[in-house]
Amino acid sequence: MAVAAGGRLRVFLERAATQFPAWRERAVVVLGNESADLDSIACALVHSHVLQQLSKDPACPIFPVVNAPRADMKLRTEALGALAAAGIDWSALLYVDDALGRMRELQKENKLSIVLVDHNQLAVSQADIATAVTAIVDHHKDTQSLPHARSWITDAGSCASMVARHAQDNGVPLEPAEALLLSYAIAADTGALSEYMGRARELDHAMAAALGALHGRSMEDLMADVMKWRQALGALSCAELLRKDYKKFVFPRPAGDVVVGMPSSSAPVAAMAAMPDFAESIDALCVQQGLGAVILMSLAGEPPARQMGVRVCDPRIDEARVLELLQASELGLVPLGVYAGVHVFDQQSIKHSRKVPSRTCAPSRWLRA
179-206: b or e for each residue (b if 16 or more CB lie within 10 Å)? bbbbbbbbbbbbbbbbeebebbbebbbe
Residue 284 has pLDDT above 60, yes or no: yes
Q: How confident is the model at residue 3 (pLDDT cuts 50, 70, 90)?
A: low
Instruction: Give pTM, 2 decimals.
Output: 0.84
The closest alpha carbon to 260, from 286, 282, 297, belongs to 286
**50-64, 100-114, 229-243, 277-291: least confidently modelled range:** 229-243
Contacts of 364 (CB under 8 A, 6+ apart): none
Average pLDDT score over residue span 90-103: 96
What is the pLDDT, as a whole number, of residue 253?
Answer: 79
Q: How confident is the model at residue 310 (pLDDT cuts 50, 70, 90)?
A: very high
CA torsion through residues 86, 46, 100, 265, sign: negative
3 state SS of 249: strand
Q: CA-CA distance, 308 to 324, in Å (whole number)? A: 14
Q: Are 361 and 295 in contact (CB under 8 A)?
A: yes
Residue 291 has pLDDT above 80, yes or no: yes
The average confidence (pLDDT) of the chain is 92
What is the pLDDT, as a whole number, of residue 252?
Answer: 81
What is the pLDDT, as a whole number, of residue 256?
Answer: 81
Q: Which residue has the higher pLDDT, 141 or 29?
A: 29
Residue 369 has pLDDT above 90, yes or no: no
Residue 4 has pLDDT above 60, yes or no: no
Q: CA-CA distance, 334 to 65, in Å (whole number)? A: 39
What is the pLDDT, as a whole number, of residue 363?
Answer: 64
What is the pLDDT, as a whole number, of residue 362?
Answer: 67
Cα dist from 28 to 39, 50, 162, 300, whole Å: 20, 13, 19, 37
What is the pLDDT, as a whole number, of residue 128?
Answer: 96
Contacts of 299 (CB under 8 A, 6+ apart): 264, 266, 305, 306, 350, 353
Q: How confident is the model at residue 140 (pLDDT cuts 50, 70, 90)?
A: very high
